[in-house]
Amino acid sequence: MEDNQTNWTPFPDDNLLGLIDKNQINEFEASGITNAELFVLELETDVEISTTLILEIHKIAFSKLYDWAGKWRKTEVSVGQLLPPKPTLVLQAMYQFLDNLNFKISISKTPAEHIECLVYAHYEFIKIHPFNNGNGRTGRILMNLVALKFGYQPLELYYREGESRKFYIDAMKAADNGNFKILTELISEELVSF
């Protein structure tokens, strides 16, 4: 999970537009995220969630600014207390995760099963951390694609500023230690059917 700065950005010269103003960079990122969210909203709900689809979502979100958009991570990272898979194992981990996720989606019938599936979709994706950056935002978009499949509205999970961000971080830290209660509650509270 990206530490407390969800809007963390590499050094200014690391973006394709040569932007150095952090607010401008954040605006471009926010615009890309909005485009990725719209892309997901327009998908058929029976679309299979695949590595190709995940790469496409990430590319739409970040390609205006970064050359790493839509490409698997090639560096080692640590996320909170967790060590995500080595770069050479990211693709294998994603295939395994998506097989499990698509299976869980296919058998989830009750609201409780839907919530469990949404928790799995978000948390496991973040745990793999398949991209250089933008994992949290892409993970939320993925979770919202699953929510749409079940007939729910997209969830916010947290806002960049304020208490909700800290609550989300605490929920993810608890999940890192095997306690999914807070994350489950967070998702349950936001779940609204169309």
Predicted confidence (pLDDT) per residue in 141-150, tens digit:
999 999 999 9
Q: Catalytic residue at 114?
A: no
Reply yes or no on whether the pLDDT at 6 is more than 60: no
Reply yes or no on whether the pLDDT at 12 is more than 70: no
Mean pLDDT across the chain: 90
Q: What structural domains does the chain harbor? A: 12-190 (1.10.3290.10)
Q: What is the 3-state secondary structure (H, E, C) of 63-100?
A: CCCCCCCCCCCCCCCCECCECCCCHHHHHHHHHHHHHH
**Residue 167's pLDDT band (boundaries 50, 70, 90)?**
confident
Instruction: Exactly one of 58, 114, 122, 129 is catalytic; name it.
Output: 129
**Residue 165's pLDDT band (boundaries 50, 70, 90)?**
confident
Position 7 scores a pLDDT of: 44
